[in-house]
Structure 1
Amino acid sequence: MIVQTENLSKWYGEVMGVNDITLTIRPGITGLLGPNGAGKTSLIKLMTGQLKPNQGEVKVLNQPVWNNPDLTKRVGYCPDIELAYQFMSGFEFIAFFATLSGYDKAEVKSRSLQVLETVDMLQAKDRPIGSYSKGMRQRIKLAQALVHEPELLFLDEPLTGLDPNGRRHVLALLNGLTDKGISIVVSSHILYEIEALTETILLIHQGRILAEGTISDIRELIDEHPHKVYLSTDEPRRLAQVCLPFEDILSVTFVNVNGVSNPEFSGAENESQENGDGDIIIETARPDAFYARLPELLIENELTVSQLYSPDDNLSSVFKYLVG
C-alpha cells in the first residue's frame, strides 16, 4: 500500500475540508476526482505532510506523514499553484531543488539535465520561466517533483490550463513514469481525461469519498443509474411503441420529428400521428438491459437506427448522480 488513511479529518474553523476519510491507495496511478472546493487539495496536503490532521491518521509508504523528513525524500509533490521565480531559468529552478535534496555539485547538474530531458524541457532550460507557456510551466513543476527520484508523486491539478496538445503530452509523460515504477496520485476535475489515465478512481465531494474503484467498478455505477439514450431513426414513433412496454423505460421524448419538437410520449394517443425522420430520447432505469435487448428489437421489428449515444455514459454523469 502506498497510502493509508483512517478517519482522517481536517477542518478550518467551521469549514470541513476533509471529513472522516478512510481509504487505501495501491501502487499505480490513482485519480482523485471532484469539483473545485471538494477537498482534493486538502487531502493531498495531508498526505504530503503539509497539513496536520485534526483527527485520524495518514501513512504514506508505510510511514507516518507528519513531521517526517525522511519520507519527504521519497515523495514528490506538484502543487496546483505557480511556485517558480519568473526570472530564474528552467535549469536554475530545477538545480535549486536538486541542491535542497542533498545532491553534490556534479550530481545537481547531471540530475537536473536528466529530469529536464524526461519532461522534454531540455531545449528551453536556459530561458527564463517567465517566458514559458502554461504547458511548459506545468512540465517544469513536474520536473522539480521528479528531480530527487521519488517513489511516489502527488500531482494537484496538473492538467489545468493546458491546451489539447499540452494535455496529451503530460498524460503520455505520466504513463511513462508508471512504466518506471513510480506511483502517482493525481487530482483533477477534468474527468474524461483522468478516466483515460487512471487505473483507480476516487470520487470526492464536500470532503468525503463518494465512490472508489477501478474503471470497471465505475462503469458498473454508470449502469446502475438512469440513462437518457438518444437515437436517430426514420420511424421514431414506431420505435417508441416497441420500447415502451418494458418496465425499465421511464419516458420517451421526441426531438425534431418532422421539424417539430414533441412532448413526452405515453403511447396510444400518438399512434395516429405520422412517422417522420427524427431523434428520440429514451430514458431507462436499467441501461445495461436496454442496450442488451435493443439489437434484437430492431431486427424483429425491421427498424433502423442511424445514430445512438448517451450523454450519461461517462464519469461526469456518475458524479452528478452520486452527489444528487
Structure 2
Amino acid sequence: MSVLRLENVSRWYGNVVAVNGISMTIGPGVTGLLGPNGAGKSTLIHMMGGFLAPSSGTVELDGAPVWGNPDVYRSLGLVPERETAYDFLTGWQFVHAMAKLHKLPDPAAAARRAIALVEMEHAQERAIGTYSKGMKQRIKMASALVHDPPVLLLDEPFNGMDPRQRLQLMDLIRAMAAEGRTILFSSHILEEVERLAGHIEVVVAGRHAASGDFRAIRRLMTDRPHRFLVRSSDDRRLAAAIISDGSSRGVHLTDQGLEVEAVDFQRFTWLLPRVARDAGVRLLEVSPSDESLESVFSYLVAQ
C-alpha cells in the first residue's frame, strides 16, 4: 500500500506563487483533486510525479523523496494533461518503448497487456498523430500502466473521451483501486469525481481549501444553510409547522415538495420528524438538495 505525502509544499515562478504551503496525504483508493482553472492542480501533480521540484517543502512516496530520485518511477505512473507522445510513433511503438525504458523482463508482453487494459488493440498499429483526443488519452494511460505501478497520477484523464470510453476507464480505475492502488486524478467534470472518488482534495488559488469526503465537508460548513427537499402527505400544513417552529431559515412550496433552508443540519434532522408528528403530517421523503459535489465545490470556491 503506497502513500504520497506532501508537507508544506510551495512552488513559485519568479514572483508568481502557483502552490502555497500545501500539506496532504494521498493513500490507497481513488482521490479526486479539484480546483478552478489556474488553482495549481497540474503543478501539484507534476511535483508528485517528480517532474517539478518544490520551491519549499517535501514530496515523499513511502517515505522517500520524489524529486531527484529515479527509483520512484518503478512505483509511479503518470498521465499528464498535455500531449506527451510523438505523433509519428504507432501506439504499439510508444507503449513498447515505455516498457523498454522501464527495463521490464518482457517488454512486448507488458505492452500487449497495457494496451489491452485500455482497449486499444484495434488501433495499436496506427500512428498516434491519427488518433482522436480520447484515443490519445487511452494510449497515454497504457504507457502509464505498462510497468504495473502501485501509484497512478492522472491529470484530466477523461478529456476527449466518448461516453463508452469514459465508462470503460472509470471501471478500470475502480478495479485498480480495489486492488489497493493509490490513484489521484484531477477532472473539471465534477460528476466524474463524484462517481469515482471516495476522497477529495480541493485547491483554490494555490492553497489547500478542503480534504475528505465531500458530504462530510458540506456538513462542516456551518456558515451555509443546508437545503433539503421534503415531500409529505400535506406540504402546506408541514410548511406552516416548520415556519412556526423556527428550525429553518426559509421554506418554499414547489411542485416537487418543500424546499427548506436549515441553518443547523443536525438540529433540523432531529426536529423535523417531531414537527411532522405534532402537525399530524406523514413524511414521504427527506433528501439533501445541496450535498452534491458540485454544491460543495461551488461553496468552497466562493469562500
TM-score above 0.5: yes
Q: Aligned partners of 1:315 and 1:244: how far apart in 2?
A: 29
Is contact 1:224–1:286 with CA below 8 Å preserved after alignment? Answer: no
What is the root-mean-square deviation of aligned Cα atoms in Å?
2.7
Higher mean displacement: 32-41 or 185-194:
185-194
Tell me whether 155-164 or 88-97 shows the greater mean CA deviation: 155-164
Secondary structure of 1:245 counterpart: helix
1:35 equivalent in structure 2: 36
Shift of 1:243: 0.6
Does the 8 Å contact 1:225/1:286 carry over to 2? no
Match of 1:238 in 2: 237
2:89 counterpart letter in structure 1: M
Which structure has the bigger radius of gyration? Answer: 1
Residue 321 of structure 1 is matched in structure 2 by 299
Give the equivalent residue in structure 1 for 2:120: 121
1:265 alignment counterpart = none
Structure 1 gaps, min length 5:
256-276
Matched AA of 1:171? M
Matched residues in 1 for 2:35 and 2:29: separation? 20
Are 2:21 and 1:20 equivalent residues in the alignment?
yes
Counterparts of 1:313 and 1:39 in 2: how far apart (Å)? 25
In the alignment, structure 1 residue 49 sits paired with structure 2 residue 50: yes
Distance in 2 between the 1:34 and 1:190 partners? 11
CA distance in 2, matches of 1:226, 1:14: 38
1:252 and 2:241 correspond: no
Distance change >3 Å, CA 247–CA 139, structure 1 → 2: same
TM-score (norm 1): 0.82
Q: In the alignment, is the contact (CA less than 8 A) between 1:74 and 1:150 conserved in 2?
A: yes
Question: CA, structure 1 residues 123+2, in 2 after alignment: closer, same or farther (shift >3 Å)?
Answer: same
Shift of 1:302: 4.2
Provide the rounded CA distance (Å) in 2 between the counterparts of 1:83 and 1:156: 12
CA distance in 1, matches of 2:34, 2:107: 35
Match of 2:95 in 1: 94
User: 1:1-324, aligned counterparts within 5 Å?
Assistant: 2-103=3-104, 107-214=106-213, 217-218=216-217, 220-221=219-220, 225-231=224-230, 236-255=235-254, 279-303=257-281, 309-323=287-301, 324=303
The answer to whether the Cα contact below 8 Å between 2:245 and 2:275 also exists between their aligned partners in 1 is no
Output the CA distance in 1 between the equivalents of 2:297 and 2:25.
20
The answer to whether the Cα contact below 8 Å between 1:224 and 1:287 also exists between their aligned partners in 2 is: no
Measured in 2, the distance between the counterparts of 1:278 and 1:59 equals: 50
Deviation at 1:65, TM superposition (A): 1.6
Identity value in percent: 39
**Which region of structure 1 is more displaced relative to structure 2, 73-82 or 128-137?**
128-137
Letter in 2 for 1:313: E
Q: Could you say what secondary structure the match of 1:123 adopts?
A: helix
SS at match of 2:50: coil
Deviation string for 1:135-190 (max 9, x for gaps)? 33222111111112222111111123333332221111011122334321112233
Are the structure 2 counterparts of residues 224 and 246 from structure 1 closer, same or farther at C-alpha, using a change threshold of 3 Å? farther
TM-score for both structures, normalised by structure 2: 0.87
8 Å contact from structure 1 (residues 218, 315) kept in 2: no
- Residues 9-40 of structure 1 show CA distances to partners (whole Å, capped at 9, x for unaligned) of 00123322111012222223222122221111
Listed one character per residue, the Cα deviations across residues 241-269 of structure 1 (whole Å, up to 9, x for unaligned) are: 111133431122345xxxxxxxxxxxxxx
- Equivalent AA in structure 1 for residue 188 of structure 2: H
| Number of residue pairs aligned between Structure 1 and Structure 2 | 301
What is the letter of the counterpart of residue 135 of structure 2? Answer: M
